[in-house]
Amino acid sequence: TEHQHVRYNPLRDDWVLVSAHRVKRPWQGQLEKPPPEDVPRWDPKNPLCPGATRANGEVNPKYEGTFVFPNDFPALQPDAPEPDDSDHPLFRAAPARGVCKVMCFHPWSDLTLPLMSLPEIRAVIDAWAELATELGASYPWVQIFENKGAMMGCSNPHPHCQVWASSFLPNEARLEDRTQRQHLSQRGVPMLLEYAEQEARRKERLVVENADWLVVVPYWATWPYQTLLLPRRHVCRLQDLSDSEKDSLASIMQRLLIKYDNLFEVSFPYSMGWHGAPTGPYLEEDCRHWQLHAHYYPPLLRSATVRKFMVGYEMLAQAQRDLTPEQAAERLRSLPEVHYK
């Protein structure tokens, strides 16, 4: 807990440097602005609000629950042309096609997931599963992700996420596919199923748990208060969850996100996303090595205004963190599950 060491991340086949003593160093660097507390519930100029006009001129319906629409500035489009053939192996390109969607969680701009009711969070989970099924019927990878807060690149103060479906497996998916396949081959059990069982027994990195799910600060965490959300049973994809597992998922998400907000009494920024077995042509293949999971990557380190920067050594050598995962888990675990607001 006091001396630097490196820890292996079997999911990414890499290492992280843990330097727990560095969190004590004085900070005279950049201070972030806390998120605004006065976000209007409805703003006609906010393109994600019900009834508002988006950049492409389309008017949103006056939706009352979740609302899904095509991204007006998509990173992937279904009809992109083939790149030219390369004349050298160092200059390779490949086709990239897909669909990008935006999903609003709620019609109110001043709500975030931890402030929503359990039925409202369950509606978000249902919409995620529906999109994963719909887009996964033809696309190999469907990435559901949420960037929360301006600090994590969110350009709009409205509760929402994005869903990008691609004609290829992205880097993280290919990496996790390889490591999980290798683990199943060597040990006869899916990696993250075995890992969840170990963490449930050890408890030192456990944050919250219920009958179907557990949240841990992973042993190999990179970001200060990074967490990993895992099902207890073997589940390959989000759309494979039962109704009761979706209910308990809504509950554990709410509990985790309330703890996050309570940590520094601020609407806690993060990037999160779901990883599960590939889809499209992979639906007909054996994907037993995969275990559904969600990653939460929050940047805040010491307070609502001091973040962890992934620069210098992290960019040029390897990831480095300033407190142990056990210290982070203990702090999160001890926080109340009633929102500070």
pLDDT tens sequence across 74-92: 999 999 889 999 999 999 9
Rounded Cα distance, 54 and 67, in Å? 14
Task: Report the relative pairing of strands 319-321 and 14-18 from DSSP bridges.
Answer: parallel
More confident residue, 26 or 293: 293
Rounded Cα distance, 165 and 144, in Å? 9
Q: Is 72 annotated as a binding residue?
A: yes
Confidence band of 306 (pLDDT split at 50, 70, 90): confident
Using DSSP, state whether 182 is helix, strand or coil: helix
Looking at residue 26, its pLDDT comes to 62
Q: Is 302 annotated as a binding residue?
A: no
Q: Is 104 annotated as a binding residue?
A: no
Rounded Cα distance, 115 and 110, in Å? 9
Q: Is 21 annotated as a binding residue?
A: no
HSE (side-chain half, CA atoms, 13 Å) at 106? 20
Under 8 Å between Cβ of 49 and 158: yes
Under 8 Å between Cβ of 96 and 76: yes
Residues designated as active site:
160
Confidence band of 165 (pLDDT split at 50, 70, 90): very high
Q: How many C-beta atoms lie closer than 10 Å to residue 161's C-beta?
A: 25
Q: Answer whether residue 7 shows pLDDT above 70.
A: yes
Q: Answer whether residue 53 shows pLDDT above 80.
A: yes
| CATH number assigned to the domain with residue range 39-81+92-334, chosen from the 4 options 3.40.1160.10, 3.30.428.10, 1.10.10.10, 3.40.50.300 | 3.30.428.10
Looking at residue 23, its pLDDT comes to 64
Q: Is 71 annotated as a binding residue?
A: yes
Under 8 Å between Cβ of 300 and 268: yes
Q: Is 270 annotated as a binding residue?
A: no
Residue with tokens 């929402």: 160
- State pLDDT tens for residues 15-42: 999 998 766 666 656 667 777 778 899 9
Q: Is 313 annotated as a binding residue?
A: yes
Under 8 Å between Cβ of 275 and 295: yes
Using DSSP, state whether 243 is helix, strand or coil: helix
